[in-house]
Structures are given as structure tokens and as C-alpha cells.
Amino acid sequence: MSWLSRLNPRGPGTRTGRHAAPTSPCTADPETCLMVFENHWRQVSRVLKQRESSVGGYADDLTAVRNHTDQMLCLLAEERPAGGDIDSPVGPILKMVVAENILDELVQWHVRRGLDPDSQLELLKLFEMLIGQSHQPLLLHSAVLQPLLNLLGACVDPQLGSPPALESSLVLLLNQVCVCMAKETAVLELIFRCGLVQQGPTNLLIFSLLVPFIHRDGSLGQQARDALLLVMATSASNHSVARHIAENSYFCPVLATGLSALYSSLPRKIEVRGDDWHALRREDWMAVSSLVLFMNSLEFCNAVVQVAHPLVRCQLLDYLHNGFLVPVMGPALHKSSVDEMIASTAYLDLFLRSITETSLLKTFLRFILLHRHDNDTILDTLLTRISSNSRLCMVSLSLFKTLLSLNCEDLMLQLVLRYLLPCTHVMLSQRRAVRETDLYGKSADKFLSLIPECCRITPAPSSERDDEPAFWGKVLGSPTSESPVHPRPSTPSRLALFIRQQSSGGQAIPPSSGSENAPSSPRGSVSSPLSPDSPVHQLPDTSEGETGYLEYLRDARKGIELCSWACRDWSAPYDGENPSPNSAPPPPPPPTSHPSLNMVQEHFSIMDRPQQRGAVVAAARAEWSSSDRDSGEWDVTISKNCISLTPRSKKRSLLSSSIPLQSSSSASVSTEMTGAVETVSQHSHSAPHTALYNGMGQVELTDSVDEKMEVKKVKRDSDVNNSMVESGMNGSMGIGSVDYNDFHVGSTMKSSQVQVKPHLQHQTSVPTSTQECLESESQRLSPVPALTETSTVPCDSRGPESVERLIEELLERAPSEPLTGDSKCQGISIEAFHQELRELEERVRERRVLSRSSEESSREYRTAPTPSLTDEDCLPVEIEQRSSETKPESYATGVFSPARPLGPPLAQPYTGPFITVLFSKLESMMQNSLYVNILLTGVVFQLACYPQPLLRSFLLNTNMVFQPSVKSLIQVLGSVKNRIEAFAATHEDFPAMLRKARRFLVARGKLDWSDSPIGVPTLRRSDSLIKSRKPSLGDLILRHTNSPTRARHAAQLALAHVRDGGQSLHSALFRGGAAGGASGLEKQAEALRVKNAVYCAVIFSEFLKELAALAQEHSVALPFPPSQGAEE
């Protein structure tokens, strides 16, 4: 932070002109000036002498004194130091001032005759002029300094502070004094000693006068902060002053607690501008005055930490931790309303991005990693948010992206490495392989092979101008052809060639590769952009080719290089040997047992009994070897000590779902599966909550034809036992148990889940309150409150018959819906609208199924609900009963299995909550919104940049053999691939949709640079999809323009674009929509589902290339040697 350098131009030099009266006599020779000065002084002293006679003083006197004083001080200010005399280069006027103590007498006289605010102001201004403009170090003379201090003392009431009218002059004067002080360090000492004599313990008056202005807004606060900072910098080497500041001033507490106060005035809810919004950018907060205020103060803290004496710094950090982070940030992050969670998470992210000082960062990180709020570390809390509804998820992902970009060992240790350290996740025989690099590109090959067949674009017949042969092919084809060689000094050798080869098909690459992500960008992605002027994007559809791979390689290289550079001073290599796996402390178990923990549990199936575990593991292993990862199904298993994900085949789950719930102890895999299914159906039927809560696409339906047919069949044969279970699973949750994740946020999995449970309890007793709470819930959660509200009413009160009416109502309502009233939001709210529709439709459908099968299903519940309940009511009640009966810590066990856990299984490998939540989110990529996927893959990319063999091998070594219960990235990706392919198989227009989606993404990526003449630098290339994949739309629009109007204009343009893109995609999807045309609503829901899936297919393919590139680059990366102390 260049705070100090920013201060410099503020020196007196820039401020001439204000008092540089043209008539100034200073041009005259010093002799004359002195004579003039003496003359004035004579006049003044005549007045001063009269003091005894007239205590009140006459106005004439005052005017006279003022006039003369003006002149005198002007002369003094203009005087140049005497040239000849080296020992005391003091001009004659100053000499006289010192000798006769003129200033002191003047001030004394004023003070004695009673200072009215007017003359106070006058004097302050005079002194300010004098100090600001003097050519001599006046403050070195106590004849100047002392009267100044006296004046200040007289102007400011120690209790009341300075009168408002004086504030600006006062601060300006103090600022000038501090500027002088910075230039002449001796002044500080002098002030300090003067103060010591006069004011006793509350010395350093100048300093304490400034402190109250620390948090002021506007230029006043800025001046005060600048001045204080100068004091800090000047005192950095002065121990006694530093001690004084630390011990006798309120500087640090005021600064820290002021932050708390400012934080409390921040908006609790962040007005969300688009469905891709996920982080606060500068442009976002510049318009929010309270946030500006806060950020100013935070930046000031940062600057103080940077320059201040260690004593002061330590104290400040202490106060920040104990006076701001713990009492304010902690609770704020644990607020129960989603809006507040979003806001506080985004704030924290912003703060972390704004801080540059290492020790301040340490304070924040310490708080995040170690501080426990209600038993959980902040980190735990933040982790759970990733699996929540989409906005909160995005904000949290963004925060973790920021955290990862810090490359902090302590953080990575807590987040990931400590779980990998014991090496229990790999087979014993594989431990050696942890350090191996992928020499022959096997892993890269594996990743690339996972690109779904359907996503490998066969060029569209007409639109492709170049059919993108492999670059190498081009080279081979024309080995001697002169491709233009552009000297690109920083291009990594061979890659440069590829790029050149590419460009030979297009046009020359202007050598402007100096683009870089602005560090302030929320997406400070390690991978920095290339020149966006790469020729390829000028071609119409090149994005559909695989041109991006080189860029991915380059990004990967940069990411890895930066990361390993940043990690070079870590305490250990984390290579599976150092730190030793044996000495590593066992990582903490999965946090299942904290009742207070608002942890989003994944699905709980019963894995407690060892024999069960054995069976499951064996089964899983068998399945694994036979089906070779074909199954997309996983069981997330949570027992006391671990969350694990176990593969499960479709067949098995279908089978198990037909088995009614057993409470026998002949537990087998299928029992557990049943348990799983049960829970799923439960939660999927608690529809309103889940649907709302999950925001984006979590309630997705089928992922294959079979499953969809399943659902339909179920609808018909609704009298079949268990049909609900089946439909619940195959319908809502067919995607896999990972989805529970999100469900459990909002559902009453545990009593600890403060979010929803209270509402549900209400439901039992007062049915109507259900609606209310749903409404309130939806209002909180939904960006389109009105819409949800209306949707809830008919849904709850009328039941399935009124679906059509409801839809009509909705559609009627929708267009006139008062969104935010802002034109630029329309494109986005359409998305939101679809979202709502889809969720609603989901609920409706579930209800339909439920209404027919509720009786059957109800007897499956151990706690059978009152039969007389209506369809609409019975579910919530069931849930409520279940949740109330269930012990929080062993919900699944309590309900589904009579057996209590015998004890935690031994050393079950657990790769930690971060990996778990990322993987489960990845697994549900098909249902995630585009923006969630963009962020999510970005985070995984960043994680995979880390060079530590433990982490690298876990994520990128596809040849590693993990323990069966440990899910690998490649397995997760494999299941996503299968789903995408299954999806594509059921949509014959998939290729067309895919092309459209790509085109849209590319267009989106182009937005940023096409609009602004100056906007190029921060962008990634636009020829490949990655670019559009990385930064958010709002970011793209807003980043490059500071003018609000221009930004708005850009935003409108861009959003229009997006809207068009989105809508055309929508319409395309509609035409091909397989929804069966039952209702418009279903169609739309289907369309959204399809849209998410298609976008997912695009992102997924690009993500795989990215991972492959990372795997390749890791194998050729050279480590950086440690920096050996202070080397930079």
C-alpha cells in the first residue's frame, strides 16, 4: 500500500499559491523584510502592552493585532534561511522571533483576552500557513513550537475535543505539523519533550488530538489518518514515543474498536446485482459509504501496521483481534440469516483481499483458523457454507479462493494437509508414489480421456472456418513454412512455438502480453491472463475447437510457478515423508457431533458397526473393480470419525430402495442404502425448504432416461409399496447422495440446524404458520420474494389439483413482477424466475407423487404420522416428528437402526471437510449453476496448483491407489462424465445446445474488452472458454471502468448480451425440451435443468483440460529454493 508515497505530494510544495500573496514582500532583500517585520512587531507590542488597562480589549485592538500578525507571519513564512552562516542557518526574522519570543507573546495575549472561536480559527490558519509554507524548519525552535502547543491546548477542550467549526483547520494544521515532523525527525523528539514538560502523561498533544478523527470520512479523516501515519512512521524508530503511543494514547483501541463500530453500520444485506455475483469488488463498495468508511479505516490499519514501531503494531494487532475480529466478525459470520451470512462472508473476503501486511494477515488468519465461536473454528463454519445454497456457496467459494491464493502454510495445513499427512488415504504400498511425478503424461491423458464423447466437438459443417487441426499437425504439415515469429520475450519456449503455430493460421500476435489480473480483483486467480488479442477469437467458432489447451498449459505453469514460489519458505515439503506420516497428529474427525455446529452434513447412512463397514467396503471394492467407475452413485457416509464417500451402483440402489426399511440388525449394504434412500425421500419431500434452500439446481431430477422413466412409472403405479422411496430417490435425488449436502442445510437433519427446525416445529402445531415461515424463509432466500410468496400459497393451501392454476397465476404475475426496478437486473431476474419456477415445479411434482403414495409411505416411517392429516400437512409433520425424536448426534442411527454405534472405527481415512465438500459439489456439477461451477472449478484448479506432493498426488496423480473409502478426484470426475454422457444421450439436440452454450460463454468472455477502450489489461484471453469461465460477469463489466455511468452503460450492454444469450439458449432448449409438454412450468423447469447440464458439460470439458495441463506442468516444474531470510 503506497500510503506513504501518496502522502508526499501533500507537502507544502503543493500548497503554495494559497498564501503566496503576489504582493508578498519576500522578494525584497532580507534587510528590508526584517525592517518591515520589526515595524509590525512594534505596532503589535504596543497593543499587547495595553493589556492591563483594558481587559476586555477593543475590537480595534484585535483587528490591528490580526493585521499585523498576518503580515509578520507571512514575512516569517517567506523568509529563506540565511545562506552564509552554516552553524545557524536561521534567517534574521526567525532569529528575532526566537529571541523575543514573539509568537509566544502573541498567543499569550490572545489566550488572556479570551479566545473566541473566530480568532481561534484565525490563529490556527495562521499557524498552518506558517508551518506549511515556511522555508525554514520552524518547529525545531521551541519559540515556535511552544506557542503552537499552547494554542492547540487552548483550542481544544480535553474532554469535549475540538469544536466542530475548528475541526478542519485544526486537522489541517496538525497534518502540516506532522509533515514537518516527517521531514525533520528531531521535531518529534522536541514535541515529545515539550509535551512531557507541559502536559505530563497526556503528552504528545498533537497525536492525541488527531486520534478522534481516525475514522472520519471525507478529506478530514483522510488528512488525520495521513498525519497519524506520518507520526507512526516517524516514531517507528523512536522507542520512547512508541511506548508512549502504546501505553498512554488511545490510538490502538480507538482504531480497532472503531472498526467494530464501522462494521456494525455496514449493510446486513448486500444488494445482489446478478446471479453471478459472488464477491465485493472495489466498484461495488465504492458506492456504499459505510463500506468506504470501513475500508478506509482498514487500509489505515494496514498502513499503520506497515510503518509503526513493533510495539504499536503488536498492540494494534492485539486490539484488532480481541476488539474487532472476535467480538464483531465472529458473531457476524455466525448470523443465522442467509443474507447476513452472505454479507459477512463477502466482507471477510473483501478484507482479506485488501490487507497486504503480513502481520495483519496473520491476525486475520489466526482468527479464522484458531478462534472458536461456539466450539467451531471460523474455518469450519465457512467450510460448511460451500455446500449451501447457491449464493452463499458462491460467496464462500470466492472466500476460499482468496484464502488459497494466500499460499499460507498454516491455512493449508488446517484445510487439507493435516488430513493427508498420515497418508492413510493411500494404500500402504503406494506411499512411495506420493512423490512421483507423472513423467509420461499418464495423468494428463487420463483427465483428457474423461472429456465426454459428446463434448468433443465435431465442427459444425458451416460455421467453422478453421477446423482446428492439432497444432502439431500443422507443424508437421508445413515444417518449413514461415510462420511469423514474434519475439515474445517471456514466452516459455516450446509453448511459444505452439502459439505461433496457432497464430499462423490467423494473424500476427501483437506482442502485448503484459496483461495481469489486478491484484484487487476478487478473482485474483493465480493464473494470469494472456493477451486477449490472440487471433483465434476473431474466428467465429474457434472456441469450439480445442485451441485452449496451450493456454491452459501456460496458465497451469504460471499458477504452479507462483504457488511454489510463494510456498518456498514453508516449513516442510509435505511429500509424504516430511513431516513424517507417523508423527503427524491424527487429523480431527469429521465434525459430526457438535450439536451447535451448523455443519452441513452429507448424507448419514449407518456405517457404525464394523461388520457393516466391512460389508460396504467389500461391496464397494467389488463394484469398483467390476464397474470401473461407471456408477455415478456414491454414498456419503458419516460416522463418528469420518465422512467418507463410497461408490454405489445404480442397480444396488434400486434394489435397496425396494426393500422396506428394516430395523433388524441383519444389516447389510442394502439396509444402509435404504436408509440413505429413506432420508433422501424425506428430504426431497420437505420440498419447500429444500427447494428454496438449495437455490440453484439442487433439486434436479433425473440424469438418465432410465431414471426419468422410473419416475413416471412411479407416478402411475403409485400404490406400489415404497414407490415414494423409489421416486424420491430416482426422481429428486437420483443424481447421487452427494446432493444431500445441500438438502441438509435447510432440512432438519439435526436439531442443531438452527435454520429450519424452528419453522418445522411450528408446522406441527399451527399449520398455517407453515406458510408464513415458508414465506419468510423464501423471502430471505429468494431473490424474487414476491414470486415465491405467491407460489407458496397455492402450493400449501390447495394441493396438487391447483397446479395449473398456480402456474397461470405465476406466469401472470411474473412479467409485472417488481424486481429491483432496475433495467440492468432484468436479464438476471429472468434466471431467477426460472429458478423459482423450477423449484416450484419440483415441489409440485413431489407433492403429486406424495399425495398418492403418502399412505403407503407413511407406514414406512417408524413414527407414523396421524393418518388423518391431509397430504399437504403430513410431510412436514413426519419430518418434524422424526427430527424431534431423533438424537442429534446420531440421527441416522436413531431412526434407521436400533443399533448404537459401537465406537468410532479405527483410523478411517478422511481427507478433510474441504476436500469432501469440494468433491461433493463437483459431483453435483450437472445441477450446479454455471457460476457455481465456474467458481468451483477455479478453486479446485487453485488447489491443484500447490506443488506439495501430498496434495498434488492426491488430486492429480490418477495412478495412485487410494483406500477404498477415499474418493479420488478422478472418480468424482468420472461420475460426472457418465452423467453428462447419459444426459447427452437423451437429448438429441445436445450438440447444438452445446455449441450455443459455448458461443454464449465466449461472447460473455468477450464482453469485457469489447466495450472499453482501456479495459484490456485485466483480462484473460478470449479465444478460449477459460476466460469466460473465470471472472464473473459483473467483474468483467465493472472492473475496467471507474466512471459509474460508463460502468452502468457497460453493464447494460453486457447484460443485454447475456440476456439474449441466455434467452436464445433457453429458446433453443425449449424447442428440444424433453419435458413432455405437460405444462409450461414443467417445460421451463426442464429447460433450466437442461441449461445447467449443458453449461456444465462445457465447463467440465474445459476443467479437465485445465487439470491435465496442471498434471503436465507439475511434472516439469522446478522447485524454488527457500528465500534464506530477508531476500526479496
Partner 1 sequence: VKPCWILCAFLFSLSRSDGEEQVGQGEQKSSPARPSFGKKQLPSIPKNAVPITKAASPAPSTQSANGTHASYGPFYLEYSLLAEFTLVIKQKLPGIYVQPSYRSALMWFGVIFIRHGLYQDGVFKFTVYIPDNYPDGDCPRVVFDTPVFHPLVDPVSGAGVRRAFTKWRRNHNHIWQVLMYARTVFYKINTMDPLNPEAAVLYDKDIQLFKSKVVDSVKLCNSHLFDQPKIDDPYAISFSPWNPAVHEEAKEKMFAHKRRPEDYNKGLPVSGLSWVKPGSTQPFSKEDNPLQT
Among 3, 127, 319, 549, binds partner 1 (CB under 8 A): 549
Question: Which of 260-268, 553-561, 594-602, 1087-1095 is the region at the interface with partner 1 (rule: CB under 8 A)?
Answer: 553-561
Q: Does 493 contact partner 1 by CB under 8 A?
A: yes
- In angstroms, the CA 757 to CA 747 distance is 7
Among 396, 414, 704, 942, binds partner 1 (CB under 8 A): 414
Q: Which is nearer to partner 1, 164 or 477 (CB)?
A: 477
Question: Which of 596-604, 841-849, 1031-1039, 1116-1124 is the region at the interface with partner 1 (rule: CB under 8 A)?
Answer: 1116-1124
Question: Which of 555-563, 653-661, 771-779, 1029-1037 is the region at the interface with partner 1 (rule: CB under 8 A)?
Answer: 555-563
Q: Does 482 contact partner 1 by CB under 8 A?
A: yes
Residues between 452 and 471 with contacts to partner 1, criterion CB under 8 A:
453, 456, 469-471
Residue with cell 494487532: 317
Question: Which of 414-422, 890-898, 981-989, 1070-1078 is the region at the interface with partner 1 (rule: CB under 8 A)?
Answer: 414-422
Residues between 589 and 608 with contacts to partner 1, criterion CB under 8 A:
none
Q: Which is nearer to partner 1, 190 or 1104 (CB)?
A: 1104
Whether omega before 579 lies within 30 degrees of 0, making that bond cis, reads yes
Shortest reach from residue 569's CB to partner 1, in Å: 4
Question: Which of 551-559, 858-866, 896-904, 941-949 is the region at the interface with partner 1 (rule: CB under 8 A)?
Answer: 551-559
* C-beta atoms surrounding 14 within 10 Å: 10
Q: Which is nearer to partner 1, 34 or 560 (CB)?
A: 560
Inter-helix orientation angle 990-1011/1044-1072, to 10° = 170
Question: Which of 284-292, 571-579, 735-743, 846-854 is the region at the interface with partner 1 (rule: CB under 8 A)?
Answer: 571-579
- In angstroms, the CA 535 to CA 1022 distance is 9
Strands 643-648 and 633-638, by their bridges, are antiparallel
- In angstroms, the CA 1008 to CA 281 distance is 15
- Comparing C-alpha atoms, which of 658, 664, 659, 649 is closest to residue 606? 664
Residues near 489 by beta carbon (within 8 Å), at least 6 away in sequence: none
First to last CA, the chain: 17
- In angstroms, the CA 905 to CA 682 distance is 28
Q: Does 318 contact partner 1 by CB under 8 A?
A: no
Shortest reach from residue 558's CB to partner 1, in Å: 6
Length of the chain, in residues: 1128
Q: Which x/- pattern over 419-448 shows residues binding partner 1 (rule: CB under 8 A)?
A: --x---------------xxxxxx-xx--x
Residues between 519 and 548 with contacts to partner 1, criterion CB under 8 A:
519, 528, 546
Inter-helix orientation angle 442-449/1080-1115, to 10° = 170
Among 31, 52, 87, 1127, binds partner 1 (CB under 8 A): 1127
Among 70, 100, 299, 410, binds partner 1 (CB under 8 A): 410
DSSP symbols for 70-87: HHHHHHHHHPPPPSS-SS
Q: How far is CA 575 from CA 580, 1036, 1121, in A?
A: 9, 39, 16
Residue 942 phi/psi, 5-degree rounding, is -65, -40
Which residue type is seen at 800? P
Shortest reach from residue 636's CB to partner 1, in Å: 27
Number of residues that bind partner 1 (CB under 8 A): 90
3-state secondary structure of 1073: coil
- In angstroms, the CA 780 to CA 788 distance is 10
Question: Which of 516-524, 800-808, 813-821, 981-989 is the region at the interface with partner 1 (rule: CB under 8 A)?
Answer: 516-524
Among 108, 260, 483, 769, binds partner 1 (CB under 8 A): 483
Which residue type is seen at 828? I
Residue 356 phi/psi, 5-degree rounding, is -120, -20
- In angstroms, the CA 505 to CA 509 distance is 11
Residues between 1072 and 1111 with contacts to partner 1, criterion CB under 8 A:
1108
Q: Does 577 contact partner 1 by CB under 8 A?
A: no
Among 184, 189, 466, 569, binds partner 1 (CB under 8 A): 569
- Comparing C-alpha atoms, which of 437, 336, 348, 429 is closest to residue 388? 336
Residue 905 phi/psi, 5-degree rounding, is -65, 155
Shortest reach from residue 438's CB to partner 1, in Å: 8
Among 290, 565, 779, 861, binds partner 1 (CB under 8 A): 565
- In angstroms, the CA 892 to CA 635 distance is 14
Among 42, 80, 432, 494, binds partner 1 (CB under 8 A): 494
Q: What is the 3 state secondary structure string of 16-68?
A: CCCCCCCCCHHHCCHHHHHHHHHHHHHHHHHHHHHHHCCCCCCHHHHHHHHHH
In a 13 Å sphere around the CA of 336, the CA atoms on its Cβ side amount to: 11
Shortest reach from residue 1112's CB to partner 1, in Å: 5
User: Residue 648 belongs to what H/E stretch?
Assistant: strand 643-648
Q: Does 1046 contact partner 1 by CB under 8 A?
A: no
Q: Which is nearer to partner 1, 101 or 359 (CB)?
A: 359
Q: Does 487 contact partner 1 by CB under 8 A?
A: yes
Question: Which of 159-167, 480-488, 707-715, 928-936 is the region at the interface with partner 1 (rule: CB under 8 A)?
Answer: 480-488
Q: Which is nearer to partner 1, 407 or 605 (CB)?
A: 407
Q: Does 476 contact partner 1 by CB under 8 A?
A: yes
Neighbouring-strand partners of residue 376: 373
Among 212, 492, 511, 1080, binds partner 1 (CB under 8 A): 492
Residues near 716 by beta carbon (within 8 Å), at least 6 away in sequence: none
Shortest reach from residue 1069's CB to partner 1, in Å: 25
Strands 376-377 and 372-373, by their bridges, are antiparallel
Are the CB atoms for 145 and 190 separated by under 8 Å? yes
Among 56, 164, 201, 585, binds partner 1 (CB under 8 A): 585
What stretches of 877-945 adopt beta strand conformation (E)?
A: none
Q: Does 192 contact partner 1 by CB under 8 A?
A: no
Residue with cell 526479496: 1128
Q: Does 5 contact partner 1 by CB under 8 A?
A: no
Shortest reach from residue 553's CB to partner 1, in Å: 7
Among 249, 598, 764, 1112, binds partner 1 (CB under 8 A): 1112
Q: Does 197 contact partner 1 by CB under 8 A?
A: no
Residues between 350 and 379 with contacts to partner 1, criterion CB under 8 A:
356, 358-359, 361-362, 365-366, 369-370
* C-beta atoms surrounding 519 within 10 Å: 9
* C-beta atoms surrounding 314 within 10 Å: 15
Q: Does 490 contact partner 1 by CB under 8 A?
A: yes
Among 56, 84, 200, 489, binds partner 1 (CB under 8 A): 489
CA triple 7-9-12, angle to 5 deg: 105
Q: Does 302 contact partner 1 by CB under 8 A?
A: no
Q: Which is nearer to partner 1, 408 or 735 (CB)?
A: 408
Residue with cell 389439483: 801
Q: Which is nearer to partner 1, 72 or 1108 (CB)?
A: 1108
Q: How far is CA 315 from CA 43, 287, 301, 354, 671, in A?
A: 52, 32, 12, 21, 58
Question: Which of 50-58, 407-415, 733-741, 818-826 is the region at the interface with partner 1 (rule: CB under 8 A)?
Answer: 407-415
- In angstroms, the CA 197 to CA 217 distance is 34
Q: Does 567 contact partner 1 by CB under 8 A?
A: yes
Among 491, 753, 835, 971, binds partner 1 (CB under 8 A): 491
Q: Does 571 contact partner 1 by CB under 8 A?
A: yes
Shortest reach from residue 437's CB to partner 1, in Å: 6
Q: Does 584 contact partner 1 by CB under 8 A?
A: yes
Q: Does 472 contact partner 1 by CB under 8 A?
A: yes
